[in-house]
Amino acid sequence: MRKLFLFCTLFFMNIQSFVLSTEIKGLLIPNITTLLTFIALAISAPKRFSSITVKLVLTFFLFFIWQSIAVVSQNIFTNHYSTLIRFLSDDSTFGIRNSVITQSAYLFTCIIFFLVLYHELKSNIEVDNVKKITKIGLLFYIAFGFYEFFYFIIFKNFGDFISNRITGDDFTYGLLQLYTISGQTLFRVKSLSGEPSMLAYTISPFMVYYFVLKEKTWIPCFILLMLSNSSTAIFGIAVLLFIIAKRSIYYVATSLTIASIAYIIFKNEANYIIESFLYKISGHGVSGTDRLNFFVAHFSSWLDSNFIEIFFGHGFGTVRSTDYLSTSLFNTGIFGFLTVTFLMLFPCNRLLRSGEEDKIAVSIALITSYIILMVSVPELFYFHIWYFSAFAWHYYYETKYAPIKFT
């Protein structure tokens, strides 16, 4: 039964806009199936459950101490925040912001998923089946994105039939955005994410992962990224181009040839994409300007904090900027920032030098996720981060005592 729940989590993990209850934003299918997997593990594999529980309790204990320091600091010292600071909630319970409690609950759901998947991989679960279910779930996610795009082209209307998207107080969980190329109004694809940038955040690591493995799944991922028309997609595409350039002159020549032919055939569309890319990367767009202003506001407020808050933050889940770097420093301080960086990047050095394609692919996917997370989105709760992290740490310990191949 636990494998069924785990496979359900893997299939639905990229779906971040379909909620089981419109009253609770975080009541997502992968969150529920993760908890069911954890419960099933207690029944079917008590020893493994005990091992995971010990790690979870230790993590919770350290997290509680860390949060307590942040909360006590806030009640002792007076802070003057910029008007651009984006607090998740002003309501509090026993002196703790409600958002701190809810965001912490979402975080621990992801930690449970990470620990369960890591231990299942360690216990020789069918790794190929894990990857296969994940790919099927990703292809379903991609297919829905293409459906959205072509439905709008044909019927000039939004084809989103999912009603359980309305969450929170603003009733705008799924953003509907349009853009125009050569007089043709197009839909910015978001698939089953809340907005186009989150689609790019989700798809980019899988695109580079499958490209490194030479699997054709990277192609629909790339096309969907382009259809999202999101500045976040730039970082995923940049990593892809870097990989192509590093592989061989053949890949570079082939890519340039294909790009040249595409430019000749779709000249107007290509010019729009190039101009849009340059406009966004220069930071002149509304989105780019806002991102910069929010980053400066949150980063400056963190620097102006007292020494305790600089190291431990103001409390996990207190604010939400447009990037995780300033969000993390403000909420969790240097300690929290380094913890996430260690979790995501520490295994990558060994995996990159392993000489094995799958391990290299996982590490590059994780590095891509880290870059996008720090620069463009503030969400630590997307399951693909924890999916690749579980694989990275599993591979890290698998190769720890193996000879390292330098390539």
pLDDT digits (tens, 9 = 90+) for 386-395: 999 999 999 9
CA dist., res. 111 & res. 105, Å (int): 10
Q: Would you say residue 317 lies in a domain?
A: yes
pLDDT single digits (tens) 168-196: 444 444 557 777 776 677 788 888 887 88
In a domain, 389, yes or no: yes
Q: Is the pLDDT of residue 291 over 50?
A: yes
Q: Does some domain include residue 264?
A: no
Instruction: Place 127 in a pLDDT band, splitting at 50, 70 and 90.
Output: confident
Mean pLDDT of 98-114: 89
Is 274 part of a structural domain of the chain? Answer: no
Angle 324-345/46-76 helices, nearest 10 degrees?
150
> What is the 8-class DSSP label of residue 404?
P
pLDDT of amino acid 363: 94
- Mean pLDDT, rounded, of the chain: 81
Evaluate whether residue 361 is within a structural domain. Answer: yes
Give the model's pLDDT for residue 302.
87
Q: What angle do CA 377, 314, 289 make, to 5 degrees?
A: 35
Q: Could you give the number of structural domains in the chain?
A: 1
Q: 261 lies in a domain?
A: no
Band (pLDDT 50/70/90 cuts) for residue 292 is confident
- What local confidence, expressed as pLDDT, does residue 255 receive? 54
Per-residue pLDDT of 210-244, as tens digits, reads 999 999 999 999 999 988 888 888 888 888 888 77
Tell me if the pTM is above 0.85. yes
User: Between these two residues, 216 and 355, which has the higher pLDDT value?
Assistant: 216
pLDDT of residue 75: 72
Model pLDDT, residue 80: 60
Q: What is the pLDDT of residue 84?
A: 58
What pLDDT is attached to residue 407? 45
CB of 100 closer than 8 Å to CB of 317: yes
pLDDT at site 60: 92
Three-state SS sequence of 347-362: CHHHHHCCCCHHHHHH
How far is the C-alpha of 318 from the C-alpha of 99, rounded, in Å? 6
Return d(Cα 65, Cα 312) in angstroms, integer.
Answer: 10
Question: What is the SS3 assignment for 35?
Answer: helix
Structural domain including 329 reads: 2-247+283-398
pLDDT confidence bin for 58, thresholds 50/70/90:
very high
Which one has a higher pLDDT value, 367 or 45?
367
Q: Is the pLDDT of residue 41 over 70?
A: yes
Q: Average pLDDT for residues 277-301, to the nearest whole number?
A: 67
- DSSP secondary structure letters along 212-264: HTT-TTHHHHHHHHHHHT-TTHHHHHHHHHHHHHHH-HHHHHHHHHHHHHHHH
State the DSSP H helix or E strand holding residue 187, giving kind and residue range, or none if neither. strand 184-187
Q: Does the pLDDT of residue 286 top 50, yes or no?
A: no
User: What integer is the mean pLDDT of 25-33?
Assistant: 84
Lowest mean pLDDT among 208-217, 307-316, 341-350: 307-316
Give the separation between CA 296 and CA 318, rounded to whole angstroms: 17
Domain presence at residue 257:
no
